[in-house]
Amino acid sequence: MEKVWANKKAIVFFLFPSFVILTLIIIVPILMSSYYSLLDWSGFGKGTFIGLKNYTDLFKDKAFLMSVKNSIVFAIASVFIQLPFSLLLALVISKGVKFERFFVTVFFIPVIISTVVIGQLWMKIYHPEYGILNLFLRAVGLDNLTREWLGSKETALGASVVPVLWQYIGYHMLLMYAGIKSISSDIFEAAKIDGASWAKTSRYITIPLLRPILRISVTFAVVGSLKVFDLVYVLTRGGPARASEVTSTLMVETIFKSNKYGYGSAMAIFVIIECFLLYWIIGKLFKTDEVV
37, part of any domain: no
Give the count of domains, the chain: 1
CA–CA distances in Å: residue 196 to residues 187, 199, 267: 11, 8, 51
Our CA dihedral for 251, 117, 218, 224, rounded to 10 degrees, sits at -20
Torsion of CA 133, 135, 138, 144, to 10 degrees: 50
The angle at the Cα of 208, spanning 204 to 212, to the nearest 5 degrees, equals: 165
| Residue at 177 is within a domain | yes
**Position 48 in a domain:** no
Query: From CA 204, how far away is CA 196, in angstroms rounded?
Result: 10
Q: Does 95 fall in a domain?
A: yes
| The model's pTM | 0.90
Whether residue 292 is contained in a domain is answered as: no
In a domain, 36, yes or no: no
Per-position pLDDT tens, the chain of length 292: 555 556 777 788 888 888 899 899 989 999 999 999 999 998 888 889 999 999 999 999 999 999 999 999 999 999 999 999 999 999 999 987 888 899 999 999 999 999 999 999 999 999 999 999 999 999 999 889 999 999 999 999 999 999 999 999 999 999 999 999 999 888 888 888 888 888 899 999 999 999 999 999 999 999 999 989 999 999 999 989 899 999 999 999 999 999 999 999 999 999 999 999 999 999 888 875 444 3
The enclosing domain of 196 has a CATH number of: 1.10.3720.10
Q: What do you get for the CA distance between the two ends of the chain, in Å?
A: 25
In a domain, 250, yes or no: yes
Q: Is residue 188 part of a domain?
A: yes
Structural domain harbouring 190? 62-285
